C-alpha cells in the first residue's frame, strides 16, 4: 500500500520530577537538602531515510510518544533523561504543523533531521533552592510537560525525470526497460496505482532517477482519475518526459494529448509547465507509427520541442533518449549551481521582541498567557506552601503583579494561567 500523506499526533516526553531529600548521615542530625533534578523528557525527531519509501508505518501508528525523564533522587542524583524518539520518513517528506499551518521542515537529504516536539525540562530538586534564608527547602519542581503537536506529513517524490502521459501510453513499460524497477503492467486504464521509481544507469559512474507518475487525464487536477493525488510528485522533478502513444495519435492533430496533459500540469501549478520538457513517441516499432513520424516531428518542431521516436517494447531509440536526458540534467545542475552562488543573500540579524507574558481581561477574570509563565505554573506544586511562596516571588520579579495592577485588577479578582485559577491579593 502506497501512502504519501498522513496526519499524526506527537507528544514529547515529560521531564522527571525533582526530588525532595535530606542528608541522613551518622552523627549529622540535621543534614542539608540533597534532592536531585529530574531528567529531561525525550524529543521527537523526524529523520529522512532513503530506505523508507512510504508513510505506511505512520498511517498505521498515528500516535507517537517519546519517553519521559526519570525523577531525581537523594544524594543529588539526577534522573535519567528520556530517550528521544526518531521517526523515519522517505526523502521528500514535507512536515507541517496543523495548528499553525507552518512548514516545520522539507526533508530532501538522507539523514536530515528536524525536532518537531521538544521534551520537557526536568524539575529542580530541593538542593537547588537552598539559600542563606532558606536553609531547608521542603519543595522541588515538577517536570515540564513535553510539547504536543498535530502534524501533517506529505510526501513529494524526489526524482530527476518525471514520466507523464495518458494511461497505457507505455510509461511503466519504459520504466521497466531502462531501470530495474518492476511496475505492474497490463492493458487497462490505471494499471499503475502509485508512483514508481527507477534508477537509470548512464555509464559506470553516472545515473539518474525516473518516476512514473500515474493517473494523468483531462480533469486530473480536479480529481478525475487519480491525478489529484499524484500531480504533486512532479513538482520536484527537473525534467518532464511526455510519453505519447504513437499508435493512437492522429497526424491531423498530433499535439492533442501533449497539450491536454500540459493543461492539467498548468492548472495544478504554472511552475510545472516551465520545467524543461522532452517528448517520446512510443510504439515506433509499428509500421503505422513510422509512417506518420514525419508529421509528428514537424508538428512538435514548430512548437520548439525535441521528440524521440522510441519503442519501450523492443528498446529502439532508448539509448539516445537516456543520453539526452543525462546531458540535459548535467546542464540544469550546472545552471542551478551558478544561480545559487549568485543569489546567496547577505545574512542579517533581526531581533524579534517577544513579551514574557500577555494579559487579557475577560470580565472579572484576568487571563495570562506566555510560554515562560505557563512553564513555571506547570512545574509548581500548588499543594506545597513553600512552593507557592517561591512561585509568588518569581512572578513578582517578572513584573506580572505590577502589570496586573496597571490593568485595573482589584483585591479578590481572579487570575487564570493555563488551567490554574488564583485569587488576587496585594497584601
Is the same domain home to 165 and 311?
yes
End-of-domain residue from the set 124, 155, 186: 155
End-of-domain residue from the set 314, 342, 370: 342
Number of domains the chain contains: 3
Three-state SS string across the chain, please? CCCCEEEEEEECCCCCCCCCCECCECCECCCCECCCCCCCCCCEEEEECCCCCCCHHHHHCCEEECCCCCCCECCCECCCCCCCEEEEECCCEEEEECCCCEEEEEECCCCCEEEEECCCCCCCCHHHHCCCCCCCCCCCCCCCCCCEEEEEEEECCCCCEEEECCCCCCHHHHHHHHCCCCCCCCCCCCCCCCCEEEEEECCCCCEEEEEECCCCCCCHHHCCCCHHHHHHHHCCCCEEEEEEECCCCCCCCCCHHHHHHHHHHHHHCHHHHCCCEEEEEECCCCHHHHHHHHHHHHHHHHCCCCEEECCCCCCCCHHHHHHHHHHHHHHHHHHHHHHHHHCCCCCCCCCCCCCCCEEEEECCEEEEECHHHHHHHHCCCCCCHHHHHHHHHHHHHHCHHHHHHHCCCCCCCEEEECCEEEECCCC
Is the same domain home to 73 and 27?
yes
Which of these ranges, 62-66, 175-179, 365-369, has the smallest mean pLDDT? 175-179
Q: Give the separation between CA 324 and CA 319, rounded to whole angstroms.
A: 9
Over the stretch 306-337, which tens digit does the pLDDT of each residue have?
899 999 999 999 999 999 999 999 999 888 77
Residue 227 clears pLDDT 80, i.e. is over it: no
Q: What is the mean pLDDT of the chain?
A: 85
Percentage of the chain modeled with pLDDT above 70: 88
Over the stretch 378-410, which tens digit does the pLDDT of each residue have?
999 999 999 999 999 998 999 998 999 898 888
Residue 226 clears pLDDT 50, i.e. is over it: no
Is the same domain home to 391 and 326?
no
At 119, which CATH number?
A: 2.70.210.12
Is the same domain home to 305 and 230?
yes
Residues 194-208 have a mean pLDDT of: 82
Q: Give the separation between CA 205 and CA 218, rounded to whole angstroms.
A: 39
282/236: higher pLDDT: 282
Over the stretch 166-181, which tens digit does the pLDDT of each residue have?
887 888 889 888 887 6
> Does residue 283 fall inside a structural domain?
yes
pLDDT at residue number 80: 97
pLDDT tier for residue 190 given thresholds of 50, 70 and 90? very low
Over the stretch 111-134, which tens digit does the pLDDT of each residue have?
999 999 999 999 999 999 998 888
> Does residue 350 fall inside a structural domain?
no
Percentage of the chain modeled with pLDDT above 90: 45
Residue 186 clears pLDDT 90, i.e. is over it: no
Domain span holding position 244: 161-342
pLDDT at residue number 342: 59
Is the same domain home to 171 and 143?
no
pLDDT at residue number 223: 44
Residues 193-213 have a mean pLDDT of: 81
Residues 30-50 have a mean pLDDT of: 92
> Does residue 75 fall inside a structural domain?
yes
The sign of the torsion formed by the CA atoms of 86, 87, 91, 96 equals: negative
Query: 332 to each of 54, 164, 241, 335, 357, how far by Cα in Å?
Result: 28, 20, 15, 5, 50
> Does residue 61 fall inside a structural domain?
yes
Is the same domain home to 92 and 202?
no
If 0-12 CB within 10 Å is exposed, 13-18 middle and 19+ buried, where does residue 295 land?
A: middle
At 366, which CATH number?
A: 3.30.300.350
Residue 211 clears pLDDT 90, i.e. is over it: no
Between the ranges 5-9, 258-262, 301-305, where is the mean pLDDT highest? 5-9
Is the same domain home to 220 and 85?
no
* Residue in this structure with the C-alpha cell 507523464, named with its chain if needed: 164
Is the same domain home to 310 and 241?
yes
Is the same domain home to 126 and 54?
yes
Is the same domain home to 169 and 283?
yes
Is the same domain home to 288 and 232?
yes
> Does residue 347 fall inside a structural domain?
no
Residue 272 clears pLDDT 70, i.e. is over it: yes
- 11 CB contacts (<8 Å, ≥6 apart)? 44, 63, 64, 65, 66, 117, 146, 147, 148
If 0-12 CB within 10 Å is exposed, 13-18 middle and 19+ buried, where does residue 174 land?
A: buried
> Does residue 90 fall inside a structural domain?
yes
> Does residue 373 fall inside a structural domain?
yes
Is the same domain home to 120 and 219?
no
Residue 284 clears pLDDT 60, i.e. is over it: yes
> Does residue 195 fall inside a structural domain?
yes
Amino acid at each position: 500500500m502506497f501512502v504519501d500523506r498522513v496526519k499524526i499526533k506527537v507528544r514529547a516526553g515529560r521531564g522527571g520530577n525533582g526530588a525532595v531529600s535530606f542528608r541522613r548521615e551518622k552523627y549529622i542530625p540535621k543534614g542539608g537538602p540533597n534532592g536531585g533534578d529530574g531528567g529531561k523528557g525525550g524529543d521527537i525527531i523526524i529523520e529522512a531515510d532513503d530506505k523508507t519509501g512510504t508513510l505506511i508505518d505512520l498511517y498505521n501508528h498515528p500516535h507517537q510518544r517519546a519517553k519521559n525523564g526519570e525523577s531525581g533522587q537523594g544524594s543529588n542524583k539526577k534522573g535519567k533523561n528520556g530517550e528521544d524518539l526518531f521517526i523515519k520518513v522517505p526523502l521528500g517528506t514535507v512536515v507541517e504543523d496543523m495548528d499553525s499551518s507552518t512548514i516545520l521542515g522539507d526533508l530532501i537529504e538522507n539523514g536530515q533531521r528536524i525536532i518537531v516536539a521538544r521534551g520537557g525540562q526536568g524539575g529542580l530538586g530541593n538542593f537547588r533552592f537552598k539559600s542563606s534564608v532558606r536553609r531547608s527547602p521542603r519543595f522541588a519542581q515538577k517536570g515540564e510537560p513535553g510539547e504536543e503537536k498535530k502534524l501533517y506529513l506529505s510526501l513529494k517524490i524526489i526524482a530527476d525525470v518525471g514520466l507523464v502521459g495518458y494511461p497505457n501510453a507505455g510509461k511503466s513499460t519504459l520504466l521497466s526497460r531502462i531501470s530495474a524497477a518492476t511496475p505492474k503492467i497490463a492493458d487497462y486504464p490505471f494499471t499503475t496505482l502509485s508512483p514508481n521509481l527507477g534508477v537509470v544507469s548512464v555509464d559506470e559512474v553516472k545515473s539518474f532517477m525516473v518516476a512514473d507518475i500515474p493517473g494523468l487525464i483531462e480533469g486530473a487536477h480536479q480529481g478525475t482519475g487519480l491525478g489529484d493525488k499524484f500531480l504533486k510528485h512532479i513538482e520536484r522533478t527537473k525534467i518532464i518526459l511526455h510519453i505519447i502513444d504513437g499508435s493512437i495519435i492522429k497526424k491531423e492533430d498530433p499535439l492533442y494529448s501533449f497539450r491536454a496533459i500540459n493543461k492539467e500540469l498548468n492548472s495544478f501549478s504554472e511552475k510545472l509547465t516551465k520545467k524543461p520538457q522532452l517528448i517520446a513517441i512510443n510504439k515506433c516499432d509499428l509500421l503505422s507509427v513510422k509512417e506518420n513520424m514525419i508529421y509528428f516531428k514537424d508538428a512538435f518542431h514548430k512548437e520548439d520541442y525535441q521528440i524521440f521516436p522510441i519503442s519501450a517494447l523492443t528498446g529502439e531509440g532508448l539509448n539516445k533518449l537516456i543520453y539526452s536526458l543525462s546531458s540535459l540534467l548535467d546542464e540544469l545542475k550546472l545552471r542551478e549551481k551558478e544561480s545559487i552562488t549568485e543569489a546567496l543573500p547577505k545574512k542579517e540579524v533581526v531581533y524579534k521582541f517577544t513579551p514574557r507574558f500577555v494579559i487579557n481581561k475577560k470580565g472579572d477574570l484576568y487571563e495570562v498567557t506566555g510560554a515562560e509563565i505557563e512553564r513555571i505554573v506547570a512545574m509548581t506544586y500548588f499543594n506545597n506552601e513553600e512552593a507557592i511562596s517561591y512561585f509568588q516571588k518569581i512572578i513578582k520579579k517578572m513584573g506580572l503583579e505590577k502589570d496586573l495592577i496597571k490593568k485595573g485588577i482589584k483585591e479578590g479578582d481572579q487570575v487564570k494561567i493555563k488551567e490554574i485559577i488564583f485569587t488576587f491579593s496585594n497584601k
